[in-house]
Structure 1
Amino acid sequence: MVDQVGKPDQWKVADAAMKVLEDARLPYSVLAGNHDVLNDVDYSVDPNSGTDATRTLANEPYLQWFGTERARRQSTFGARDASGFHEYHVFEAQGQKFMVLSLSWRISDAGIAWARQVIAKNPTLPVILVNHQLLNIAADGTSPLETDYGKMLWEKLIRDNDQIFMTLNGHHHGAAHLTKTNDFGHQVEEMVVDYQMAYQGGNGLMRLYEFDLTHKQIKVLSFSPWVPQKPAATLTSFDQAVLATPNEAFTIEMDFAQRFAGFNKSFGTGGATIDGSLVDRARAMILANYTEPEVLAQRPASNPDDYPKVANTLAHWRFFGGTANQPVLPGTVIADVAGANPLHRDALNQGGIQGAADGDIVWTDDRHHLSAAPGSVRFLNTDKNVPRLSYFLTEAAAPINGQTLDNGYTVEAFVKIDKSWTSSKQAWMNIMTRDGRRGELAGYQGGDPEAPPMLFAISSLREVQWEVVPSAAGARSPKTNWSGEVIADRWVHIAIVNDPVSHDTTMYVEGAPVLRNIGNAPGLATLSASSPWVVGGGSWDGARADGFFGNIGEVRVVGAALAPAQWLTARAG
């Protein structure tokens, strides 16, 4: 419903959005995601805490804005559980009834017991199970990947409930489809679909499921009714009104009467309410006066040198070359492809760090599918509370230390957040920083003077943060770009581009510009020509802090604003 649970203005927006459906008397079902609850704990981190049973219900904004009384106004509403986080609805189509069972983030055993009871009390209804999380998407961006939480739901709720024939979830950005077989030998169609990290916060994308009982099919269409309404001059290759990949537009063959015969022998086709296909009609309506822009397919690198070399490259660090799973020993040098600014892994336990070991950074063969570098380094055992971290930094005499990039810049990185990331141990971890206390910069007027002048970090909500103090003289304060949530255990390419004329800075995640960007931010301030750049770590008040947890494959710093065709995700030819 919202991105930040503690921001009332975001709940007001969610409230207004759902009132559009209410005013039109169009029934809907909702559930809470991890951003909608006060204590967001992933099942893979702690399967016992963070469930609905551990929440102080009176304090939860979700229940204040979307409580049971509001849900009860829907004509399809069945009931909610005692916590108020889980609900079910029953709707009718072609004379046949279906249940939508919506389970919020981190259901407890009591919640599962309630869900089982609801199904048992409605023994003839086919059930569409909706969760915030269940199925994930593999690193290739298309294959389905089962989650620990999804496996738990399969064992405790789905596999022995033949009425559950279909599941839907979000949480993991993108789309995938998995067919499993339950204890009755029947197929269960699991689908993840989540467009919030797409262009412009999702670009108005939504999904339509058409149940064609007559022709025994479920037809699926992913589309945006907003894209065709945009001014033509603003359109980009991201403005696809109808998505056409196999995970976005497909048909599931299903003999409904046969599939449901074990619990509803009288299920039939009913009477068709329209002639033809709803999906076909929707597609035709969306594209009636709109021509889809050309989309150029991105291809993986053919070799480690298959990427664009660009002028004004100040530093390009590629983290590969060692034996997989072996330590990157302290003192190991990471060459700068541009030549002048190599990195080295710093000695252990410097600047207040405790407990760091050789094995806290290891070589891996893992990489982003569009990176030409055939590997990465993985940062392990990072804990901000100790603090324990390991990192790389430039030499004190490195030329880049004094660079302020006043004529525009592009910073790129391939990163993957570790799947075991937690806010308590790794919030505000740094991909890259510059050393120094920004409060010591002349004219500094912002907050957190103890922080470095440049922060390329991951927030407590797993947002990418690019926060810099401009190089311009006079009064100045930090300027910050923010992404949306970045999912752990998935590679992303991040590009930050500063225009040399307007000094607007735009962040791109997986090629798509984020919504929260900044203007009038010329250059990157530095404390001195001997203040190092740090990769994988940061500092606070002069002491080392907030190390990275996960993989870093490449980092490139260019003293010019690059177009996407010049990024590391493009090819040399």
Structure 2
Amino acid sequence: MSDNRSGGVARRRLLQGAIAAPAALAVPGLVGGAAGTAAAAPVVPPNPAGFDPESPRFALAVLPDTQYLFDEDRSDPQPLATTFRYLSEQRGLANVAFMTHLGDITEHGTQDEIDLADQTFEAIDGVVPFSVLAGNHDIPGGNDQRGDTPYLRAFGPSRFAGSQTYGGSSPDGYNSFHVIPAAGREWLVLALDWRVSDAGLAWARGVVDAHAKLPAIVTTHDLAYADDDGAAELSGNGRRLWDGLIRGKDQIFLALGGHYWPPGRTVLTNDAGHDVHVHITNYQDRYYGGAGMIRLYQFDLARRTIDVETFAPWFLTREAGERPPLGAEVIELTGDVDRFSLPVDFEARFEAFAPAPKPPQVPPTRVIGKDTVAYWRFDALGLRGRVEEGLTVADGAVAQDLTRKGNDLVVRRLHSTAAGLLTRSLDHHDGAPTHASLRFDGGQSPDRGAILEAVANAPINKEKFLGGYTIEVFLKLPEPFEGNHAWMGIFSWQGRAGDAGKTAGYSPLEPTCSLNVSPERFLQYVLYPHVEDASPTSWSHALPVGRWFHVAVVNDGAQTVVWVEGSPITRNPRQPAHGIATLGRPFTIGATGWDLGFGQGFYGLLGDVRISKRALAPTEFMTPFE
């Protein structure tokens, strides 16, 4: 530990509460058994649910300096024993993938202190994979070439030989690495001695190079220090690690250290121009030597976020009346350096060394089924001509119905729209059959846009779909989302609801079926069924901009459900909805009409569109969802 503090870093407000605690555990009094004896804690097997290495959400537990719990005859390992018990129980519930200790396990590194720590750590051997590293209080000094020590005999390579995550150690035994399966991929964790030699740095670089596609986390004891506001900067040893390892290895995105207090964090830029998050985690100055406090880094790849929280299981798992007053004050820490969220676009951050595999294009024969009524795609096969970013699509161009059932679409501009307002794009949804799309630049004031409408005799224009249907489309709203695009249409059937004898809807002048975007970017599916005089309407949540979505409108012959990315939206009507009240007028992509005319066109990108004559399950969508 040290009290050197300086530097600066932007701070973020906390975003997430602590994880739910299990039922209160029976924890003995504040002080455990006789000093020098491991506290008795029942052996708890892994949670029956078990760790799920495929879940997009997992936790990395970080355990900083525990030295004051292993301090000669002043030792009390019970707080740490409770932390280990908690992690064992949370292994499945919180999907804890790994725990890493940041050094200074003990105060003096004596044989007695190490033996007591050794016994305490037995609680998670084979239960929760973990790494340790030597801090300055664990060893007599020098760098990782110091030779044999009580620490090395207890926490060296022999301890981890049976661990499923253990990858190996440096020849001296003081540096190690683990490969962690989590979120459907592998992650590399380096546990480096508090003073790594040149040989140790060379070994670490070799480990990273040997695992060239794995995102990596560096853990060590002496890395950075912070001022009282949590603004962190590298220590002298941290600068050596940065220059000798971290900055030149783009795989390393997170570096964690203890040793100093107060805790803090900063973001540095590596040689590849990417962010590296540098954090100090140390609470030994808090009540009861930190009481075995842990920090959970909750990785959420679906939300592209790492949520961080800090708490003391020794206090958290006790009934309120059993907590000492000071313990009640540090159950969980909520300062900006203790509880925060890091936005991380994992795919983009790891793209340079581990690009996510992209699905290949799918031929039409694998997209068209026996119930497919129409299928349009905007590559060179479905829309003749070169597929080049920004290339204008001319009026009169034909998007072929690849089912060959005669539902071809023809391009035409609305109003006096300029030619460049409908262009080709190579942008696409990762799960789309086709790696191409159309960019529409429609809008209001003045009204402008372009549409693709079915030819006059296309069967799709008068299809009633009484047995059910599924209409699928890939769409993306641009970022930034500029201009006025309220109530723009994605697809529709032309024709007035009043002409179909419908009186129960918003207006007899609107079309009989349309998918639209509200001013708040909610999807709105409006339907006038063939049978009922009704207008059941579905509403989604607000669609984020700059992201592709697969949208499916599914009707089982009686009711309609709209799906976004394989997820049903909330506001789907329960009203009966049998068929679509088509009037023989053209099916249209790129706008929603009004009184047989058009105002604005769609603003965004549209990919493959498919219509099927029955309700499809999510596993049958153009991009299957399990």
Residue equivalent to 1:332: 397
Matched residues in 2 for 1:169 and 1:356: separation? 45
Structure 1 stretches of 5 or more lacking a match?
Answer: 1-94, 97-122, 126-160, 171-204, 226-242, 285-296
SS in 2 for 1:331: coil
Superposed displacement of residue 390, structure 1: 0.6
**Conserved 8 A contact 1:317-1:335:** yes
Superposed displacement of residue 446, structure 1: 1.9
Q: Does 1:404 align with 2:422?
A: no
Superposed displacement of residue 277, structure 1: 7.4
**Conserved 8 A contact 2:398-2:411:** no
Q: Does 1:567 align with 2:616?
A: no
Matched residues in 2 for 1:304 and 1:166: separation? 47
Return the letter of the residue paired with 1:525.
I
Matched residues in 2 for 1:269 and 1:313: separation? 62
Superposed displacement of residue 419, structure 1: 1.7
Measured against aligned partners, the alpha-carbon deviations of 1:307-327 in whole angstroms (never above 9, x if no partner) come to 443212111111121321221
Residue equivalent to 2:433: 372
Return the letter of the residue paired with 2:535.
P
**Conserved 8 A contact 1:438-1:527:** no
Residue equivalent to 2:283: 269
Mean CA deviation greater in 368-377 or 270-279: 270-279
Return the letter of the residue paired with 1:564.
P
Q: Does 1:162 align with 2:8?
A: yes
Residue equivalent to 2:247: none
Residue equivalent to 1:260: 225
Matched residues in 2 for 1:418 and 1:222: separation? 40
The aligned runs of 1:109-124 (5 Å cut-off) are none
Superposed displacement of residue 430, structure 1: 1.2
Residue equivalent to 1:358: 419
Q: 1:256 to 1:504 in 2, by over 3 A?
A: farther
Measured against aligned partners, the alpha-carbon deviations of 1:268-291 in whole angstroms (never above 9, x if no partner) come to 532233477767999x9xxxxxxx
Measured against aligned partners, the alpha-carbon deviations of 1:174-224 in whole angstroms (never above 9, x if no partner) come to xxxxxxxxxxxxxxxxxxxxxxxxxxxxxxx999786643389xx9x9998
Q: 1:314 aligns with which of 355, 370, 373?
A: 373
Residue equivalent to 2:167: none
SS in 1 for 2:498: helix
Mean CA deviation greater in 446-455 or 270-279: 270-279
Superposed displacement of residue 303, structure 1: 4.0
Return the letter of the residue paired with 1:397.
N
**Conserved 8 A contact 1:454-1:524:** no
**Conserved 8 A contact 1:434-1:453:** yes
Superposed displacement of residue 343, structure 1: 3.6
Superposed displacement of residue 449, structure 1: 2.8
Residue equivalent to 1:290: none
Q: Does 1:517 align with 2:572?
A: yes
**Conserved 8 A contact 1:310-1:566:** no
Structure 2 stretches of 5 or more lacking a match?
Answer: 17-55, 68-86, 95-181, 190-215, 233-259, 263-281, 299-309, 314-355
Matched residues in 2 for 1:451 and 1:443: separation? 10
The aligned runs of 1:35-184 (5 Å cut-off) are 162-164=8-10
Return the letter of the residue paired with 2:407.
P
Residue equivalent to 1:485: 542
Q: Does 1:452 align with 2:507?
A: no
Superposed displacement of residue 523, structure 1: 3.5
Q: 1:521 to 1:252 in 2, by over 3 A?
A: farther
Q: 1:426 to 1:224 in 2, by over 3 A?
A: farther
SS in 2 for 1:445: coil
**Conserved 8 A contact 1:469-1:477:** yes
Superposed displacement of residue 247, structure 1: 11
Return the letter of the residue paired with 2:606.
I
**Conserved 8 A contact 2:475-2:550:** yes
Residue equivalent to 2:454: 394
Matched residues in 2 for 1:279 and 1:417: separation? 32
**Conserved 8 A contact 2:428-2:436:** yes
Q: 1:213 aligns with which of 53, 64, 84?
A: 64
Measured against aligned partners, the alpha-carbon deviations of 1:353-411 in whole angstroms (never above 9, x if no partner) come to 2x30222111122211111213111112x222211111110122211111111101111
**Conserved 8 A contact 2:368-2:403:** no
Superposed displacement of residue 334, structure 1: 0.4
**Conserved 8 A contact 2:495-2:582:** yes
Return the letter of the residue paired with 1:310.
G
Superposed displacement of residue 526, structure 1: 3.0
**Conserved 8 A contact 2:516-2:524:** yes
Matched residues in 1 for 2:516 and 2:535: separation? 14
Matched residues in 2 for 1:306 and 1:394: separation? 22
Matched residues in 2 for 1:358 and 1:301: separation? 31
Q: 1:168 to 1:319 in 2, by over 3 A?
A: farther
Q: 1:543 to 1:462 in 2, by over 3 A?
A: same
**Conserved 8 A contact 1:307-1:568:** no
SS in 2 for 1:543: coil
Q: Does 1:342 align with 2:407?
A: yes
**Conserved 8 A contact 1:320-1:364:** no
Matched residues in 1 for 2:591 and 2:93: separation? 40
Measured against aligned partners, the alpha-carbon deviations of 1:459-479 in whole angstroms (never above 9, x if no partner) come to 211122211111114xx2211
Return the letter of the residue paired with 2:419.
D
Measured against aligned partners, the alpha-carbon deviations of 1:220-245 in whole angstroms (never above 9, x if no partner) come to x99989xxxxxxxxxxxxxxxxx835
Return the letter of the residue paired with 1:272.
G
Matched residues in 1 for 2:579 and 2:187: separation? 41
**Conserved 8 A contact 2:477-2:605:** yes
Return the letter of the residue paired with 2:473.
A
Superposed displacement of residue 331, structure 1: 0.4
Residue equivalent to 1:384: 444
Residue equivalent to 1:133: none
Matched residues in 2 for 1:256 and 1:167: separation? 27
Q: 2:183 aligns with which of 230, 244, 247?
A: 244
Q: 1:298 to 1:258 in 2, by over 3 A?
A: closer
SS in 2 for 1:435: strand
SS in 1 for 2:484: helix
Q: 2:561 aligns with which of 502, 506, 531?
A: 506
Q: 1:249 to 1:215 in 2, by over 3 A?
A: farther
Q: 1:266 to 1:276 in 2, by over 3 A?
A: closer
Identity of aligned residues (%): 25
Measured against aligned partners, the alpha-carbon deviations of 1:39-66 in whole angstroms (never above 9, x if no partner) come to xxxxxxxxxxxxxxxxxxxxxxxxxxxx
Superposed displacement of residue 543, structure 1: 2.0
Superposed displacement of residue 246, structure 1: 6.2
SS in 2 for 1:481: strand
Superposed displacement of residue 490, structure 1: 1.2
SS in 1 for 2:511: coil
SS in 2 for 1:362: strand
Question: How well do the aligned residues superpose, as a CA RMSD in angstroms?
Answer: 4.4
Return the letter of the residue paired with 2:549.
V
Measured against aligned partners, the alpha-carbon deviations of 1:486-540 in whole angstroms (never above 9, x if no partner) come to 111211111121113xx222211111121221234434433522x1111001212
Superposed displacement of residue 340, structure 1: 2.5
Measured against aligned partners, the alpha-carbon deviations of 1:116-135 in whole angstroms (never above 9, x if no partner) come to xxxxxxx979xxxxxxxxxx
Return the letter of the residue paired with 1:362.
T
Q: Does 1:468 align with 2:527?
A: yes
**Conserved 8 A contact 2:407-2:460:** no
Matched residues in 1 for 2:450 and 2:499: separation? 26
**Conserved 8 A contact 1:368-1:491:** yes
Superposed displacement of residue 570, structure 1: 3.8
Matched residues in 1 for 2:291 and 2:602: separation? 56
Larger Rg: 2
**Conserved 8 A contact 1:406-1:522:** no
Return the letter of the residue paired with 1:493.
H
SS in 1 for 2:495: coil
SS in 2 for 1:400: helix
